[in-house]
Amino acid sequence: MGGKIRIRNFIPGDAKHMLDLHQQSSKYFEDLGISREFILNIAHRSDYMFLVAESGGRLLGFIGVLYYSHVGRGEIGPVCVELNYRGEGIGSMLLDEALAFLGSMGISRVIARVKKMNMRGMQFFEINGFRREGCFLRYTKQGEDVIQLVRFI
């Protein structure tokens, strides 16, 4: 990658590009009928935030962060990076920024859920300090198993 990557907070103009990235990797995510409106609505929640990675004005990836400050728990997901830029550290940059934010909010326990068939997704979280915590059988609407991973910060 030639340009400098910047991690920043989501702005409404990012929603269409995020939807495009999400659709590139739709087999790895639960089918929840994600739309531009869905992204905009969830981004306005007080307990959720999106961070995006961009370079030269181009959106290369994003991460979602759900947090419950009053109980010290958070959840990462989704994490999505453009296909042509995977393996270049963008996902880890997004995750590092998300974990720093969660730590600043008093969060100490962070989970991520990954479809059992998504070996690359599980490897990503394990490389970044998460460990497998459990398996949810037939967890998705389509009946797919999901692995929950945890990291303490």
Please indicate, yes or no, if residue 75 is contained in any of the structural domains: yes
Are 60 and 90 spatial neighbours (Cβ–Cβ below 8 Å)?
Answer: yes
Query: Distance of alpha carbon 19 from its chain centroid, rounded?
Result: 13
Residue 16 lies in a domain: yes
**CA end-to-end span of the chain:** 30
The alpha carbon torsion through 104, 109, 114, 120 (nearest 10 deg) reads 70
pTM: 0.93
CA dihedral 78, 16, 21, 112 (to 10 degrees): 0
Mean pLDDT calculated for residue range 85-91: 96
Is the residue at 146 inside a domain?
no
Q: For 15-63, how does the pLDDT look when each residue is reduced to its tens digit (9 = 90+)? A: 999 999 988 876 677 666 788 999 999 999 999 999 999 999 999 999 9
**CA separation for the pair 17, 146 (Å, rounded):** 26
CATH (domain of 19): 3.40.630.30
* Structural domain contains residue 11: yes
Q: Is residue 120 part of a domain?
A: no
Cβ atoms of 47 and 33 within 8 Å: the answer is no
Contact assessment for residue 113 and residue 80, using Cβ atoms and an 8 Å cutoff: no
Total domains present in the chain: 1
Label residue 1 by pLDDT band (50, 70, 90): low
28 within some domain: yes
Residue-level pLDDT at 27 = 67
Edge to edge, the sheet with strand 73-81 lists 6-9, 48-55, 58-68, 73-81, 109-115, 146-152, 131-136
Per-residue CA distances from 41 to 15, 30, 38, 68 (Å): 10, 18, 5, 18
Look at residue 3 in the predicted model and tell me its pLDDT: 82
pLDDT the model gives residue 23: 85
Residue 74 has pLDDT above 80, yes or no: yes
Q: Taking 70 as the threshold, does the pLDDT of residue 2 lie above it? A: no
pLDDT in tens, 101-133: 999 999 999 999 999 999 999 999 999 999 999
pLDDT reported for residue 106: 96
Please report whether residue 121 resides in a domain.
Answer: no
Tell me the residue range of the domain where 107 lies: 6-113
